[in-house]
């Protein structure tokens, strides 16, 4: 079991894993914000907000971004889901306890084992 200090939790809840990955991948390929925006059929400001974590994309947008960035959709979808979970449990004193309970239940029901 992992125990987090309040400092660790504050850092965890400020993460923007998906946005950071999108920006890193886009910049490493020399792609511009406006190119990503045109591919998604949205304005450049929205893509900028997605990368900064100020807005969260819809699942369909994540899949389109994966295609644009030539990545496996599952890689971005996992980060998208992690951000959603983080957003949901942030600032809730029971959030981490609920997450621990889910992990215990998944382990108990053997959902983490290969089948």
CATH number at residue 74: 1.10.260.40
Token pair 């969260």 is at which residue? 56
Residue partners of 59: CB distance under 8 A and separation at least 6: 77, 80
Q: Is 78 exposed, middle or buried (0-12, 13-18, 19+ CB in 10 A)?
A: middle
Domain tally, the chain: 1
Distance (Å, whole) CA 92 – CA 96: 8
21 in a structural domain: yes
| pLDDT value of residue 99 | 86
Domain span at 40: 14-90
Q: In a 3-state reduction of DSSP, which class is residue 106?
A: helix
Q: Comparing 11-20, 35-44, 63-72, 103-112, which segment has the lowest mean pLDDT?
A: 11-20
99 in a structural domain: no
39 in a structural domain: yes
- pTM value is 0.74
Distance (Å, whole) CA 10 – CA 70: 32
Model confidence pLDDT, tens digit, residues 5-26: 554 444 444 568 999 999 999 9
Mean pLDDT within 50-57: 93
96 in a structural domain: no
């Amino acid at each position: 079991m992992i125990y987090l200090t309040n400092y660790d939790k504050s850092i965890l809840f400020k993460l923007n894993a998906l946005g950071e990955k999108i920006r890193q991948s886009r910049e490493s390929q020399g792609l511009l914000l406006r190119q990503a925006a045109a591919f998604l059929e949205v304005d450049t400001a929205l893509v900028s907000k997605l990368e900064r974590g100020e807005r969260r994309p819809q699942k369909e947008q994540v899949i389109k971004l994966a295609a644009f960035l030539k990545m496996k959709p599952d890689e971005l979808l996992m980060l998208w889901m992690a951000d959603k979970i983080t957003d949901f449990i942030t600032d809730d004193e029971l959030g981490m306890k609920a997450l621990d309970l889910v992990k215990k239940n998944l382990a108990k029901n053997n959902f983490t084992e290969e089948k």
